[in-house]
Amino acid sequence: MTRRLSAAGAALALSAGILTATSTQAAAQDDGEVDRLLVATDQEVDTFNPFKSRYIITYETNLMTYDTLIRTGAENYEPVPGLASEWQESDDGLTWTFTIREGVEWSDGESLTAEDVAYTYDLLISDPAIHDWNIDFAGNLVSAEAPDDTTFVLTLKEAAPAEVLNAGIFIVPKHIWETYPDPSADDANDRMPLVGSGPFQVSEYRANELVRLEANEEYWDGAPGFDEIVYDYYSEGDAAVAALEAGEVDLVRGLNPAQMEALEGQDHVTVNNAQGRRFVSLILNHGAQTADGELYGDGHPALRDPVVRQALHTAIDKAELVDKVLDGNGDPAVSIIPAIFEQWHWDGGDELVQFSIDEANRLLDEAGYERGEDGIRTMPGGGDPLSFRFYHHADYTDYANVVQFVTEWWEELGLEIVSEPIEQGSLNDLVYLGEYDIAFSGWGVGPNPTEMLAMHTCEVLPTTTDGSERSHENFYCNEEYDALHEQQVVEPDPEARAELVREQQRILYQDAPVIWLYYQNVLEAYNHERVDDFTVQPAEGGMITGQQGFIWSFLSATPVGGEDDGGVSTGVLMGAGAVLLVLVAGGAFLFMRRRSTADERE
Amino acid sequence: MTAHRPSADGGPDRDPSAEQAPAAGPGTAPTGRVTTGFGRYLLKHLSGAAVSLLLVLFSSFFIFRLIAGDPIDQLTRERPVTPEQREAMRAELGLDQPLWNQFLDYITGTLTGDLGTSLQYRQPISELVLERLPATLLLSGTGVVLAVLLGFWIGTRAGWKQGSRFDRSHVAAGLLLYSAPTFWLGMIVILVFARYLGLFPVNGMRSASTPDGLLSQALDIGHHMVLPVLTYTAVVYAGYLMVMRSSILDEIGADYLTTARAKGLRDDAVRRRHAVPNALLPTITMVFLAIGNIVNGAIITETVFSWPGLGSLFVSSIFYPDRPMLQALFVLFSSSTIIAVLCAEILYWFIDPRIRKS
């Protein structure tokens, strides 16, 4: 037995030695001719039809394949020229005139004119399916025209400056799209390589294997530094981290604090801990209702009282949550618009709620929620006890940790907290049916604050009680808030608009239908021996991945070193040859072993 | 050398008493009776399989309605949409149809070979399944073959020398791996062999940098396959080991083995030529089940190693929830198992005389 084991050990060590020599070369090196940026991803592709795609990965491939008229700046999310070098808004805000850059070419060599732009915007108006799918923007369009090759004129039903500036409509080539039998079909735009005018075009897609984009060397804003970008699939975050450590992938996003810590110790890895666009919040069932004001669901009546909601808010130490749950990788949240959008963010000022269990207790005492014999408060006049169901997503360990801290604080207020982890789909169902008291929510916020703020307007309240209408966050409706919302949507002056947007945030904060807990940092890491010069967004402490309105980072990124000369094919061949060798050796070993056992058994 | 003759006849040698009965049967009865017997046997099992398939077809529609969640939530997860937009998406994906219509569409579609459209990939399901089937067959096919060979090989020897050090150490090692969570084992394998030793790629099936040539692609896939196959085989082979071992134990005291030994055969030959063929009989069901399971893929292994097969497709569809895809995969997985079992039963008619007798 021992003899055989040592023989096996020797065989393994020998084959491992051969393999190490060959396949590290195979795995780590690239073919010398193509500079390729490998980005780890785990997201499926929905569709390459830019009018229909909704996933983050296709948002990014669209941003690279196509141009938009106006980009979102790398500096501070401000609107900056894209395909349109300048634009002019009429006094009534209904007519927008864009000047389209001259000399821009599609990736197939045809020239791009205002005619292509008009064709694209006209699809939003006249193709019924594309119109419906993009109704929030398309519903406001009247006409799209190109009086000459460099002028594009867009007419609106109602003034909506922020919507036009942030529309991010991907301009598609008319000469290609005209040949599509149905431009709204999900598979309409599947012929590779895609034709666009952006810095990289999607050239190959293998479901759950890779998405390949090739550089547009003639890009009007300068040729990209890399020849190719490849999104490579890693369904497990830990596998992506291992691949970054092993040099198999260059950029990994969505790290957790433990992974980031492990990567910080690697010489070839740079970790980027960037301020994030995402908030995590607690939504309170302050009274589920339909647009007609019909109350439904089974939320606890105490949560309809703003005093109770504000007491809950006062008894949360957000700084402690950031420190303990996020390991410091985030910031305590105040309002619905994260601090990263400093032009829109409301920071609380003098009205900022300070953590105090005593103050929270005082609020509840004054409002008449007295403690019963068991220490649990009851409704004023000795009604039901204040016992709240607290639902969190079963697959988010962060949320489970938050629940532990918060429950402890709230129990000091004389509240009974019944927490329960629930699978995401069921949790959403319960929330929209109004069958919860307190639950988690979280959103990644974009540069246009309207998207988030609109979720708290009366207009999006459900018309039925079946929980199927889900455009609202948690049944909020407030006329004063709505009036501000209508003003800010049409306000052309950014400063004046910011005032209105901040006032909206203040109302939400005071009324507390939602308690914003923290803004989560973006944790990402890259191999600086392979890639450098990422432009981050925003300029100060910004992120590489998850950029909005244009992917500045991938355009500016440049390959580092030029050490590759062996060529991957020989490396792989040798590595695979070694595997074959091991298999043959293993087979021979087994065969011999079998012979020897047979002899022994004689 | 005379002892080899029975095997040379094509069939494994069996307990002589069992062989005599069927030999008498065909001799006395007209051949027609045997066909009728087989016909009846076949019909019985075919109808059983057909009923199972129908039950699978109906139940898969309802099972996946039990998964909570609205697919539109996934579609719009990080970007809020207006109510009108939600309606448009719902209508296009057919989610606004009453349940009854969706059921009828599903049944008529499945029976005519149209499996519908995936919600998350927004492509025809049959295309997606066909694209991924080769990857799955390659990974779990190789894994199953290795696991069966390894399990049977060790199981035979372990059972033959019950209680020996070989038996104890291999059963312990096999069961330890069998009970190890695949996910955990997969991550350990990645860390050791890919991350620290750098012998194999971390995951995936092909590298982005591999040239298009057939040979380099094949070698690259082979290189990527080693770790997932290793993990899958390590986790499942103990099942075959234990079945083969207990099957050998059932045979070990049989008289025909004593007879074989009395003829002066070596112990090794007794095991290989007499015990193993008979012990293999009860394991046939298991082998066919394994073949049926090749289609289901190694669901967790595929997920850990980002292997682009049907297993990882199933997992991502659960989280969506992509109900049309889940229905289709469930029907596919179940029917492959049902058909494999049916094949096993038909095969038994030919190799197990006791069935023809009854």
The CATH number linked to B136 is 1.10.3720.10
Q: Is residue B141 part of a domain?
A: yes
Whether pLDDT at A496 is above 70:
yes
Four-residue CA torsion sign, A24, A29, A31, A37: positive
Residues 81-140 of A with CB under 8 A from B: 129, 132-136, 139
Look at residue B196 and tell me if it is in a domain: yes
Query: Residue B94 falls within a domain, yes or no?
Result: no
pLDDT grade for A576, boundaries at 50, 70 and 90: low
Q: Which among B4, B279, B288, B254 has a CA at the least distance from the CA of B158?
A: B279
- Provide the domain count of chain B: 1
> In chain B, whose CA is at the least distance from the CA of A546?
B78
Q: Which residues of A touch B132 (CB under 8 A)?
A: 207-208
A561 has a pLDDT exceeding 50:
yes
Q: Mutating which of A268, A572, A580, A593 best tests the B interface, going by the most B Cβ atoms within 10 A? A: A572
- A323 CA to chain B: closest CA distance, Å? 25
Query: Looking at the domain assignment, is residue B202 inside a domain?
Result: yes
Residues of A in contact with B265 (CB under 8 A): none
Question: Are the CB atoms for A48 and A190 separated by under 8 Å?
Answer: yes
Containing structural domain, residue B237? 33-68+115-357
Domain membership of residue B104 (yes or no) is: no
Q: What is the pLDDT of residues A146-195, one digit of tens each?
A: 999 999 999 999 999 999 999 999 999 999 999 999 999 989 999 999 99
Report the residue of B199, B205, B266 to disrupt the A interface, i.e. the one with the largest count of A CBs within 10 Å. Answer: B199
Residue A490 at interface with chain B, using a CB cutoff of 8 Å: no
- B311 within some domain: yes
Distance CA A459, CA A475 (A): 10
The gap between the terminal CA atoms of chain A, to the nearest Å, is: 17
Residue B190 parent element (H or E): none
Q: Which pLDDT band, with edges at 50, 70 and 90, does A497 fall under?
A: very high
Both ends of chain B: CA-CA distance in Å? 35
Residue B126 in domain: yes
**3-state DSSP call for residue A92?**
coil
> Does residue A291 contact residue A463 with C-beta atoms inside 8 Å?
yes
pLDDT in tens, B168-193: 999 999 999 999 888 999 999 999 99
Question: Given CB atoms, is A601 within the 8 Å cutoff of chain B?
Answer: yes
Classify residue A300 as exposed, middle or buried by CB count within 10 Å of its CB (0-12, 13-18, 19+). Answer: buried
**Residues whose CB falls within 8 Å of the CB of residue B130, separated by 6 or more in sequence, listed in order:** none
Contacts A–B by Cβ distance under 8 A: 215
Taking CB atoms and an 8 Å limit, are A232 and B321 in contact across chains? Answer: no
- Position B259 scores a pLDDT of 87
Contact B304 A236 (CB under 8 A): yes
In a domain, residue B22? The reply is no
Chain A, residues 423-482, CB within 8 A of chain B, namely 423-426, 428-429, 443-444, 446, 451-452, 454-455, 460, 468-471
For the cut 70, the answer to whether the pLDDT of residue A581 exceeds it is no
Look at residues B20, B9, B26, B8 and name the one whose alpha carbon lies nearest to residue B256: B20
B70 has a pLDDT exceeding 90 = no
Shortest distance between the Cα of B149 and any Cα of chain A, in A, equals 12
**Which residues of A, range 180-199, sit inside 8 Å of B by Cβ?**
186-187
B24: number of Cβ within 10 Å? 10
Least confident of A200-209, B69-78, B143-152, B248-257: B69-78
* Integer Cα distance of B245 and B257 in angstroms: 16
- Test B313 with A208 for CB contact under 8 angstroms: yes
